[in-house]
Amino acid sequence: MESIGKTPESVANAFLRFINRHDVDGIVALMSPGHRLVDSLGNTVDGQQKLREGWAAYFRMVPDYAVAIEESYPSGPVVVMLGVAQGTFTRNGVLYPENRWKTPVAIRALIEDNLVSEWRVYADNDPIRKIMATGK
């Protein structure tokens, strides 16, 4: 595994790099045993195995998913990152240009013992929801 660093900011950035690479094993390796993901609707998913399956499914649904961070604000064990999330929704693996979406994103990462214990995402889901309802 790549060198991660020992600050909360370096751990959060490494976790995001694994997400952008769609490296599910790397993502899971940086999860604390009690890791929790909270999506922008307030839904929570707990546990490494559920999240392994969830990330793998999401990367199949949005195979070019990526987050570009523009600003980062570390404060103790918490790192807040602001940027843009984007990707292309697909039902059949084909990336149709009209199914591409982009939205502002804020992420709050809680780091404990050099692992991500909570990954909380704040984003407008309407762009991808509209495509899911009408797209190919």
Query: Are 91 and 124 a contacting pair, CB within 8 Å?
Result: no
pLDDT at residue 1 tops 60: no
In the structure, what pLDDT confidence band is assigned to residue 134 with cuts at 50, 70 and 90? confident
CATH number for the domain spanning 27: value is 3.10.450.50
In the structure, what pLDDT confidence band is assigned to residue 116 with cuts at 50, 70 and 90? very high
Number of domains observed in the structure of the chain: 1
CA 125 to CA 136: how far, in whole Å? 18
Show the DSSP H helices in the chain as ranges: 8-21, 24-29, 48-61, 126-134
CB-based contacts of 125, cutoff 8 Å, min separation 6: 40, 41, 103
pLDDT at residue 2 tops 80: no
What are the phi and psi torsion angles at 44 (to 5°)? -120, 145
Question: Largest Cα–Cα distance of the chain, in whole Å?
Answer: 44
Q: Specify if 53 maps to a domain.
A: yes
